[in-house]
Chains A and B, each alone.
With several copies, the nearest count.
Chain A
Amino acid sequence: MSAFRLSDQILDAAGLSRELASASAGACVGFEGWVRNHNDGKAVQKLAYQAYAPLALAEGERIMAEAAARFAIERAICVHRTGELAIGDLAVWVGVSAAHRDAAFAACRYVIDEIKRRVPIWKNEFYRDGASGWLHPDGSPVEG
């Protein structure tokens, strides 16, 4: 299965984590991005992700290959949600196993940073006051 995946279903972190198992790995670092109930001072009710899937998958896979080339890791997987999510839902999961923890931490951080920076996925936040808005990576609103 691909190292980078999109899913419109609830993510199973425990099941994904099992795919990282390796008898020669001594460290596993996981990142979970959860839907937060606030952003930039506004109360968030839910959110929705859109992805340009073919390019998101290609760019995500490039990032995973970069992480494998830069860091001494064993396995790495990232799955990003699409569709509607509620507060507390898992929006993105990254897991990396490695012989040693330095590489696992560095690679996990690299993957989530690059995913957020480069992969064509967009977040629409729906606020408690009824407004909604597409966000920039810095959390400020995008004007159409």
Chain B
Amino acid sequence: MPRHYRLLYFASLRDCAGCDGETVATAATQPRELYAQLAQRHGFALAPERLRVAVNGEFANWDRALADGDEIVFLPPVSGG
């Protein structure tokens, strides 16, 4: 049974996805697998090594178990300041 995740996109990933966010239904159970699917669908060129992951508003690692309804953000290299 697929799970539903809420994705938010920022910076170059937002431009590439063409949207601020989306809800996806997928069999992926951790961020690594999820990003691979999204990268293929949207054509993201950034390798996972260049990104950080946030789940429900906190930093998380790539192998963390995801739960139905989680908010997930793949964070491009930051450039504030």
Contacts and interface: CB of A to CB of B under 8 A. Distances in A.
Interface stretch (B6-14, B27-35, B62-70): B6-14
B57 A54 contact: yes
Contacts, number: 85
Interface string A68-108: 00000000000010000000000110000000000000000
Interface centre among B10, B43, B45, B80, by most chain A C-beta atoms within 10 angstroms, is B80
Contacts of B46: 142-144
A110 interface: no
Contacts of A50: 10-11, 14
Interface residues of B, number: 24
B81 to A, nearest CB: 4
A119 B11 CA distance: 14
Contact of A143 (B12, B14, B78): B12
Given A52-B73, A142-B12, A137 B79 contact: yes
Interface of A, secondary structure class, is mixed
A55 B79 CA distance: 15
Contact residues on A (Cβ < 8 Å of other chain), bracket? 20 to 34
A137 B76 CA distance: 10
A47 B29 CA distance: 37
B77 A136 contact: yes
A118 B33 CA distance: 24
A87 B54 CA distance: 32
A102 to B, nearest CB: 13
B11 A142 contact: yes
Contacts of B59: 55, 59
A4 to B, nearest CB: 11
Interface of A: 33, 49-52, 54-56, 58-59, 80, 91-92, 112, 115-124, 134-137, 142-144
